[in-house]
Amino acid sequence: MDIATLRPVINKRWSSAVLLGLLAATTLAGPVPASADDKAEPIAEPPRVQLVLDVSGSMRATDIDGRSRISVAQQAFGEVVDALPDETQLGIRVLGATYQGKDKKQGCLDTQQIVPVGAVDRAKAKAAVATLRPTGFTPVGLALREAARDLGAGATARRIVLITDGEDTCAPPDPCQVARELAAQGTTLVVDTLGLAPDEKVRRQLLCIAAATGGTYTAAQSAEDLTDRLKQLVERARDTYTTTPAKVDGTDACQDAPLLAPGVYTDRESFSEHRWYRVPVRPGQELRASVSMALDRPIKPDHGVLLRATAADGRELVRGVDAGSGRTDVVSAGLRWSATEDSDDAERDEDATPTPTASSTSAVTTVCLVVSNMFSPAAGTAADPGMPVELTVDVVAASPAPDGPDLGRGWVLLLLLTLAGLLTGLVTGLLTRWWVATWRN
């Protein structure tokens, strides 16, 4: 081996050592900065929130700390507007604020946007809220639909905060159904609901709206509760809005399923439906996939979700499954899979492709992913639109299995080697003695 061949060896050793060190360092400190970067980077749009306030006749009732519901709501709105983060775009829509007549048809169209979604003029917004007087009907469904339109489409999640004290008096449209439709329209829309001194019917309705969109429900019993919660929700809109996952339509078979690159996707899947996707995986790469299915409607208590990865010919490679019982928001499962170096998958693919030109492409294994659910609808639950599915796909470098160690470690090893050395020394010594003795004679 001459110097010319030695040098690359040294360089290679050094660079690989440096690379290994870097890799180790990134795996050690990877999680926090990586996820923070991913979340912070691509967002250019400001967070958008729309407050929807019920100003129907029932808001006159004086049952919150001895004050009327509307005055409590007005005070809370004032404080929220004052504490509003600068970058947050806020709009305010009211329902049942103007129509004083008795005609239900007319009263159920009564909803206006009093502050358009955008950078907030604090004084103006507070003045607009302060002049509200409880008046008419409660067209919650219509107001939600309009609020979603006010917020517009965008790449980020948008939030509606609905504050009401009475159930919808204008169904149809059923507000819960409206919420489900809005959530299914593709862009992420979350409706948080706040009930002012709610009764059973209101609570049911608000819980249903919140569950349908992945929002929350709060029962406000005091002015302080309401203010704190409103502030928290507006702040949460700023903190938790992220880029919306890409929308994808899974198919019912693997052959024509969409090919997915690493990233987050959303889809909808109905009861006992299967959705297929495909992910190309190169040799030496590892496929990672996870799926979450949201329970956005009343279903029977037991539920489960199954994510399977299969080869193109239908052989199962690996599965991820989770099941549960009772109250939950999403059921999730995940899996990892990597082709081993000398796996027969690639070879088999190669055999299957008759054209010699395809030999370079056959090294890419296309893995099929299928998502299925074990949900059963409760009586009267609609199957359409399907339940939200969130699919995360990642393809990373595969982690090879560790080899057995070539060297040893530990006190037992030292003891063994010492004893072996001692024994060898003794035997050599005895042999030498015997040899010297015989030689002398």
Partner 1 sequence: MRTLSATAAALLAAGVALAPATALAAPTPTPSPGATTVTKAGTTFLGATPLAAGQPVRVSASTGEYLYWAFPAAAGEIHEITATVALAQNRSGRSTWTVEVFDGLRRRQACTAGAQTPTADASARSVAIGCTLRRVRPWAEPWSADPLPGTYYVRLTVVEIPEPDLGLPIDVDLLVSTTGDADTSSDDGRLEAALVPPANAGTVLDTEPTVAPEAEEESGWNLSLTGWLPEAGSRWIWTTAGGVLAAVAGVVGFALTRRPSTRRVAG
Pick out residues in 120-149 that bind partner 1 (CB under 8 A): none
Q: Which is nearer to partner 1, 96 or 245 (CB)?
A: 245
Per-residue binding string, partner 1, 335-354, x by CB under 8 A, is xxxx----------------
When asked if residue 377 is in the footprint of partner 1 (CB under 8 A), the reply is: no
Least distance CB 57 / partner 1 (angstroms): 23
Q: Which residues contact 235 (CB under 8 A, 6 or more apart)?
A: 85
Distance CA 121, CA 81 (A): 9
Q: Phi and psi at residue 266, in whole multiples of 5°?
A: -125, 155
| Exposure of 273 in the CB half-sphere (CA atoms within 13 A) | 20
- Rg (alpha carbons) of the chain, rounded to whole number: 33
Residue in 243, 218, 213 with CA at minimum distance from that of residue 329: 213
CB-hemisphere CA count at 13 Å for 137?
Answer: 21
Q: Which residues of 91-108 are buried (b: 16+ CB within 10 A; e: fewer)?
A: bbbbbbbebeeeeeeebb
Local structure of 424: helix, strand or coil: helix
Contact region with partner 1 (CB under 8 A), list: 21-29, 79-87, 106-114, 177-185: 21-29
185 is an interface residue for partner 1 by CB under 8 A: no
Question: CB under 8 A: which stretch of 33-41, 70-78, 107-115, 144-152 binds partner 1?
Answer: 33-41
CB of 326 to partner 1, least distance (A): 5
The answer to whether residue 152 forms part of the interface with partner 1 (CB under 8 A) is no
Does residue 236 interact with partner 1 by CB under 8 A? Answer: yes
Task: Decide: helix, strand or coil at residue 59.
Answer: helix
Pick out residues in 195-234 that bind partner 1 (CB under 8 A). 195, 198, 200, 203-204, 206-207, 214-219, 221, 225, 228-229, 232
The answer to the question of residue 379 lying near partner 1 (CB under 8 A) is no
Question: Is residue 240 within the footprint of partner 1 (CB under 8 A)?
Answer: yes
Token pair 């699919």: residue = 391
**DSSP-derived secondary structure for 301-361:** SEEEEEEEEE-TTS-EEEEEEEEEES--SEEEEEEEEE--TT-HHHHHHHHH---GGGGTG
Least separation in angstroms between CB 432 and partner 1: 7
Give the residue with the Cβ less far from partner 1, 127 or 413: 413
Q: Is 239 in the site for partner 1 (CB under 8 A)?
A: yes
Nearer to partner 1, 4 or 123 (CB): 4
User: Which residue in 66, 314, 326, 356 binds partner 1 (CB under 8 A)?
Assistant: 326
Nearer to partner 1, 34 or 127 (CB): 34
Answer yes or no whether residue 5 interacts with partner 1 by CB under 8 A. yes
Chain centroid, CA 425 distance in Å: 67
Please report, as residue ranges, which positions from 264 to 303 form the binding site for partner 1 (by CB under 8 A). Answer: 264-265, 280, 282-283, 286, 288-292
* CA gap 436, 432 in Å, rounded: 6
Q: Does 243 bind partner 1 (CB under 8 A)?
A: yes
- CA-to-CA distance for 417 and 409, rounded, in angstroms? 11
- C-beta of 170 vs 289, nearer to partner 1: 289
Cα dist. 426→38, 413, 416, 431, 432 in Å?
66, 20, 15, 8, 10
Secondary structure letter of residue 284 according to DSSP? T
Quick check: 154 binds partner 1 (CB under 8 A)?
Answer: no
> Applying CB under 8 A, does 33 fall inside the site for partner 1?
yes
The four Cα atoms 67, 99, 193, 65 give a dihedral, to 10 degrees, of 0
Of the two residues 96 and 320, which places its CB atom closer to partner 1 in the complex?
320
**CA distances in angstroms from 164 to 66, 167, 203, 297, listed in the order given:** 18, 8, 10, 21
Identified binder of partner 1 from the candidate list 3, 327, 354, 439, rule CB under 8 A = 327
Of 41, 86, 256, 342, the residue at the interface with partner 1 (CB under 8 A) is 41
Closest to partner 1 by CB, 127 vs 422, is 422
Q: How far is the CB of 227 from partner 1 (least distance, A)?
A: 12
Pick the binder of partner 1 from 116, 119, 433, 435 (CB under 8 A): 433
From the list 83, 119, 253, 417, which residue makes contact with partner 1 (rule: CB under 8 A)? 417
Of the candidate residues 252, 341, 419, 435, the single one contacting partner 1 (CB under 8 A): 419
Q: Which is nearer to partner 1, 127 or 397 (CB)?
A: 397
CA distance 300 to 150: 35
Burial class (CB in 10 A: 0-12, 13-18, 19+), 360: exposed
Binding range to partner 1, per CB under 8 A, among 25-33, 66-74, 128-136, 378-386 = 25-33
Q: How many residues of this chain interact with partner 1, rule: CB under 8 A?
A: 135
